[in-house]
Structures are given as C-alpha cells and as structure tokens.
Structure 1
C-alpha cells in the first residue's frame, strides 16, 4: 500500500509540474501567493501535514493551479513566474488527501538555464 501511495505521489507531482499556462506577458511579474512578501519556505512552514485543510491553504496562500484525480487526491501548485525567462521558476506543491487534508508538500527550486 505504501508503494502505491508513493507511486501516486510521484505521478501527482509530475503532472503538477506539467500543468499550467505557458508564455510570458505582464502577469509574469506576479508572485505565486496572495501575500506578495510570502516566500515558499515560509508558506511551507505554515502548513501542517495531517492537520491543514484546503480551506486553510486557500485562505493563507490564495488560488493555485489544481490537478484533481479520480482517486480523490488533489495537487495544488504555486509557481514562481520569473519575468521574461525561459527557465522555469520555483514551485511549491501540496498533495491533499481525498478528505481535503494536506498529506505532503515540497518545494522545487528554480533551475538555471545552461549555456549552449
């Protein structure tokens, strides 16, 4: 059962990384959270696995890109939007159980583009 949950989490996080709109425009300067001063690390510190709910997260962080699965699990992704860069920004990803409680969080750092 634990292996299945791990596989589900890996799939969820992989799909969340691929979801969302592309392109660059005026909205690229917007931070990922409602509170523009909030960092991904401080946002992660605000959430308690097994206790924080979707309502808690939405109230604290604002809207996210959401991926819903037939199993009832949901992944919410908050993505940094670097201005006019082709390198993906950092992202904060939250996995919710079918009952709507935070199960796990992770931060993926920004990757630098390699010169070719």
Structure 2
C-alpha cells in the first residue's frame, strides 16, 4: 500500500475545513438566528400574538399550536416555566422585542408581557 504524500494530505485537510465552514454559514449555522421569525406565522406581530394567548385559559399546547415553538424555555424547580419569543435580531447591538409567557405549574398561562426593543444610546 502506498501512503498519500504529505502535500496531498494537507490539501485534503484544508478542503475538509473549508467545507465544514461553508456548511456552518448556510441555514442552521452561523447567522441562523437572523433568518428565524419569532412565530410560526412570519407576519404575526407581537401585539397580535399576545392577543392569541389568554392568561388563566391558554395551555402550553394552545400556545405552541398558535405561535410555534419558543426561542427559549426556562423551567424552575417550583414548576413554573417561562417561554420567550424573540423578534428577529436587527442589524444593531440592541436586542429585538420579546414576547414573554409565564406558565403556572398546572401548564396554564399565568401572565404575558412584551418587552420592547430598546435603542442603543449614542455615545
């Protein structure tokens, strides 16, 4: 058997690294957050989404069916959960608006709120 020469081996390694980086740059890789809308319905506004969720009535299944999966889910030892739907990040250092939902241990929405987008101060 012949061993591949070192230059051929190095070229293969460089090619593999380039392909790996190129795969990260596509959908699902670096910058993928810029491509994701906050809700399943890409045209749904934060206020409209808040109107679709009723504290004391809506369940986790209702919210998932209406809005899609949350960008972030935090579970507490007490049984409460916080789901966050984030607005598509703008091309600025400040984060976008967030729709935050608090679920009681029963799985029913207890509270909702919209955190607006804050503009960075000119410095």
TM-score (norm 2): 0.72
Provide structure 2 residue ranges, at least 5 long, that are not aligned to the other structure. 1-29
Deviation of the 1:83 alpha carbon? 3.5
* Matched residue count: 93
Structure having greater relative contact order (Cα 8 Å, sep ≥ 6): 1
* 8 Å Cα contact 2:33/2:89 also seen in 1: no
Which of 78, 82, 85 pairs up with 1:75?
82
RMSD of the alignment, in Å? 1.3
1:83 and 1:112 map into 2 onto residues whose CA distance is 11
Displaced runs of 4 or more, over 3 A: none
Q: Structure 1 residue 49 and structure 2 residue 55: aligned?
A: yes
TM-score when scaled to structure 1? Answer: 0.76
CA distance in 2, matches of 1:26, 1:71: 33
